[in-house]
């Protein structure tokens, strides 16, 4: 333990750790703990009833299903976009690069009404899609669109740095050994990108499951059809069903914690495999 004594020569340990722990406790830990304590006031039957009524189950299916699908679509197009930004030169590349973060910066409510204006029946794209019988807004498809929007930067921003640091040598070696570009991509590049793609997928999924603002405007919020889990928490709150809202929230929190641990593990593995390479 000599190292710890040496590093503590710098001042401010107690003060800085004190501020950190007090702020963390009062802003994050105590309030989150309140969810579980409140949920525990329900009897097991009441709890089960609250978290597994057909209407609530329908929201889980929709929220998790749409989030999985959106994250999968983002993995495909996010990889293509990251590939274009890293590997190809084209006019406006810097601008596209900067705007990829738009969903991080644009308030979710703004994204929500903008997407609705585009995909509603008389909207920018909606009117043309309507002619082909495709309806997006106020249906699960609209939710999917919103979740794709907010998840895209997670995939691009986790894949992009890994793609930038990729060794050209490995691909050169593959080319020397007679592999075509497609074979090289599938057998050399893709395995190297896999941890980053998986992390991006998990981040996009985690964000999508809890997303509220960008979804509710375009979703239509029809019970059993296009109602997401965060919305049912709000609906229960507005009906003063605090315990019910909290019970559903506790389910979502547990899922979030599991996802967080999973993502941390993935990032740790990505970091370690990068260190091994260098």
Report in angstroms the alpha-carbon separations of 41 from 10, 44, 237, 238, 242: 46, 9, 16, 20, 11
Scanning residues 236 to 265, which ones bind another protein (CB under 8 A)? 237, 240, 242, 245-246, 249, 252-253, 256-257, 259-261, 263-264
Footprint (CB under 8 A) of another protein, residues 173-192: 174-176, 181
| Nearest distance, CB of residue 153 and another protein, angstroms | 9
Site for another protein in 130-149 (CB under 8 A): 145, 148-149
Q: Is 105 near another protein (CB under 8 A)?
A: yes
- Does residue number 212 form part of the binding site for another protein (CB under 8 A)? yes
Q: Contacting another protein (CB under 8 A), which of 54, 107, 133, 191?
A: 107
Radius of gyration of the chain (CA): 23
Among 48, 52, 61, 101, contact with another protein (rule: CB under 8 A)? 101
Does residue 35 bind another protein (CB under 8 A)?
A: yes
- Residues in CB range of 54: below 8 A, 6 or more apart: 224
Check residue 171 for interaction with another protein (CB under 8 A): yes
Residue 233 in contact with another protein, rule: CB under 8 A = yes
Instruction: Give just the sign of the alpha carbon dihedral 206, 212, 217, 223.
Output: positive
11 in helix, strand or coil?
A: coil
- Which one of 34-42, 132-140, 190-198, 219-227 is the stretch in contact with another protein (CB under 8 A)? 34-42
The nearer residue to another protein, 44 or 107, going by C-beta atoms, is 107
Question: Is 40 one of the binding residues for another protein (CB under 8 A)?
Answer: no
Q: Which one of 129, 157, 234, 274 is in contact with another protein (CB under 8 A)?
A: 234
Show the DSSP H helices in the chain as ranges.
2-7, 13-23, 30-40, 44-52, 54-87, 93-99, 102-105, 108-119, 126-131, 140-165, 168-176, 181-184, 190-210, 213-219, 229-238, 242-277
């Amino acid at each position: 333990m000599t190292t710890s004594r040496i590093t503590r020569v710098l001042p401010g340990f107690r003060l800085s750790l004190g501020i950190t722990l007090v702020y963390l406790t009062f802003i994050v830990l105590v309030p989150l703990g309140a969810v579980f304590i409140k949920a525990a006031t329900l009897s097991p039957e009441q709890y089960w009833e609250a978290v597994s009524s057909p209407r609530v189950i329908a929201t889980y299916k929709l929220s998790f299903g749409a989030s999985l699908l959106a994250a999968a679509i983002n993995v495909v197009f996010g990889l293509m976009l990251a590939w274009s930004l890293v590997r190809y030169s084209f006019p406006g590349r810097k601008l596209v690069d900067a705007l990829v973060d738009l969903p991080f910066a644009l308030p979710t409510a703004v994204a929500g009404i903008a997407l609705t204006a585009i995909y509603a029946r008389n909207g920018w794209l909606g009117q043309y899609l309507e002619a082909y019988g495709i309806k997006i807004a106020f249906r699960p498809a609209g939710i999917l669109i919103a979740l794709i929007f907010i998840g895209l930067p997670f995939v691009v921003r986790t894949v992009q740095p890994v793609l930038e640091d990729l060794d050209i040598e490995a691909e050169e070696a593959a080319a020397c050994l007679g592999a075509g570009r497609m074979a090289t991509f599938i057998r050399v590049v893709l395995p190297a990108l896999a941890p980053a793609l998986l992390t991006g997928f998990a981040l996009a999924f985690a964000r999508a499951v809890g997303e509220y603002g960008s979804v509710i405007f375009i979703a239509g919020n029809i019970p059993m059809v296009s109602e997401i889990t965060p919305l049912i928490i709000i609906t229960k709150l507005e009906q003063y069903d605090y315990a019910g809202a909290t019970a559903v929230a506790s389910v979502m929190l547990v899922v979030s914690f599991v996802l967080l641990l999973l993502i941390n593990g993935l990032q740790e593995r990505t970091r370690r495999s990068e260190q091994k390479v260098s």
